[in-house]
Amino acid sequence: MKALGKPQTALEARAERAIQSFPMIDAASATYAASAAPVASPSYHAVESTSFDVAPDGQEASFFLRLGGDEVAELVDDDTAFAAARRLHRLGLSPEPIARVPDERAVLFARLGEGWRTAKIDDLMHESAAARLIEMQKTIATGEPFGRRWSVFDGIDRLWPLVSETGNMLPGDVEWMLAWMAPMRDAIAAAGVELKPAHGDPHSSNVMLGPNEAMMLVDFDMAGDIDPYYQLGVQMNELYQFESQMKPLLEMHDGSFSERAFNRCRIYAAADDFYWALRSLLQDARSPRQGLEFLKYAGWRFLRCRMLVGHPGFEERVRSL
């Protein structure tokens, strides 16, 4: 932990400006240290933000400071993210957001104590853990809208020109994958979409596990009013390799299994892979953290999208909606 006054990087300087802005912290005695090391592959973890543990009295770190990444700032609605953090905390589903400094894109959270750790896929594959995560998502969905309508297809529309401008080498079949997004979007729209408030990013790196089987959600950059089957499809796609393993999650979510609803989840999974492949390529072009394997992560997400949309039964799946 270091005292304020001698930042060695631009991010430390930004963190110090934020810390000095919080009235509940005495900047003269506070100390801070980097937290949550970024990893792009195999998990996309802490790469779109920088975080610090903060000890307000210079002794014990009781706060967690998160700085949003400049590289993807135009893709994030900071107001919605903070509102989502506050609402989920009131529901008992996330750490307490204490304050924010909008100009620094900084949010101060109560730091989770000893015994808390980031979940791994293996942790969430078990039926009980998967069921709890779904119940958390369903609880969030019963609330009032956040006011930020979001679709993964709109996200792709936003990302595609940004990635194209970077000059990054794209897969030879990227146009083929991109062409699939329009009929997928049209099929889902024709079937009808009911948007619900959602955390929006249920990947294991955004789930914290604590003592006595406690579970909380973190990272609210993707929060918004979203089709619940998108979020469920993302969860299925991350946790399981085989569709026979995925189908029970739909029963947990809906109370029964529907082939049409399952097809919707799988279509969303393919779109989500394409979206995050593009987003990782944008990070590769923009991020100063060039030691991270953004290209490797993007390649994996493109591969999984390619495998799903290229499956002989995928067109029938789209038509069946």
Q: Which region among 36-40, 46-50, 67-71, 215-219 has the lowest average model confidence (pLDDT)?
A: 36-40
**Domain identity same for 279 and 226:** yes
Q: For position 172, what pLDDT does the model report?
A: 95
Q: For position 167, what pLDDT does the model report?
A: 84
Q: What is the pLDDT of residues 81-119, one digit of tens each?
A: 999 999 999 999 999 999 999 999 999 999 998 999 999
Mean pLDDT of 162-184: 94
- How far is Cα 110 from Cα 3, in angstroms, rounded to an integer? 19
**Domain identity same for 61 and 90:** yes
pLDDT above 70 for 34 = yes
Q: For position 240, what pLDDT does the model report?
A: 96
pLDDT above 80 for 45 = no
**Domain identity same for 103 and 131:** no
- Is the omega angle on the peptide bond into residue 95 within 30 degrees of 0, that is, cis? no
Q: Any idea which residue has 């400049």 for tokens?
A: 70
pLDDT above 70 for 32 = yes
pLDDT above 80 for 39 = no
pTM over 0.85: yes
For the chain, list the strands marked E by DSSP: 2-3, 31-35, 49-55, 63-68, 97-101, 106-110, 117-118, 196-198, 207-209, 215-217, 224-226
Domain that holds residue 207: 118-319
Q: For position 290, what pLDDT does the model report?
A: 75
pLDDT band at 292 (very low <50, low <70, confident <90, very high): confident
Q: For position 217, what pLDDT does the model report?
A: 97
**Domain identity same for 235 and 257:** yes
pLDDT above 90 for 224 = yes
**Domain identity same for 102 and 132:** no
CATH of the domain at 31: 3.30.200.20
225, β-bridge pairs: 149, 197
Of 110, 135, 166, which residue constitutes the final position of a domain? 110
- How far is Cα 270 from Cα 313, in angstroms, rounded to an integer? 13
Amino acid at 296: K
**Domain identity same for 33 and 138:** no
**Domain identity same for 75 and 222:** no
- How far is Cα 71 from Cα 48, in angstroms, rounded to an integer? 7
Q: For position 302, what pLDDT does the model report?
A: 97
Total domain count, the chain: 2
Q: Is 283 exposed, middle or buried (0-12, 13-18, 19+ CB in 10 A)?
A: buried
Of 91, 110, 129, which residue constitutes the final position of a domain? 110
**Domain identity same for 286 and 174:** yes
Q: Which two tokens stand for residue 59?
A: 């002794």
Of 110, 130, 160, which residue constitutes the final position of a domain? 110
CA distances 159 to 23, 108, 182, 306, Å, are 38, 29, 15, 18
**Domain identity same for 26 and 160:** no
Q: What does the mean pLDDT of the chain come to? A: 95
**Domain identity same for 74 and 23:** yes
CATH of the domain at 241: 3.90.1200.10
Q: Which two tokens stand for residue 123?
A: 């942790």
Mean pLDDT of 64-71: 95
**Domain identity same for 180 and 243:** yes
pLDDT above 70 for 125 = yes
pLDDT band at 41 (very low <50, low <70, confident <90, very high): low
| Beta carbons of 235 and 202 less than 8 angstroms apart | yes
For 3, other C-beta atoms within 10 Å of its C-beta total: 14
**Domain identity same for 167 and 47:** no
Q: For position 216, what pLDDT does the model report?
A: 97
| Beta carbons of 106 and 18 less than 8 angstroms apart | yes
| Beta carbons of 94 and 216 less than 8 angstroms apart | yes
| Beta carbons of 198 and 228 less than 8 angstroms apart | yes
Q: What is the pLDDT of residues 228-275, one digit of tens each?
A: 999 999 999 999 999 999 999 999 999 999 999 999 999 999 999 999
Q: For position 38, what pLDDT does the model report?
A: 78
Mean pLDDT of 47-71: 94
- How far is Cα 205 from Cα 311, in angstroms, rounded to an integer? 28
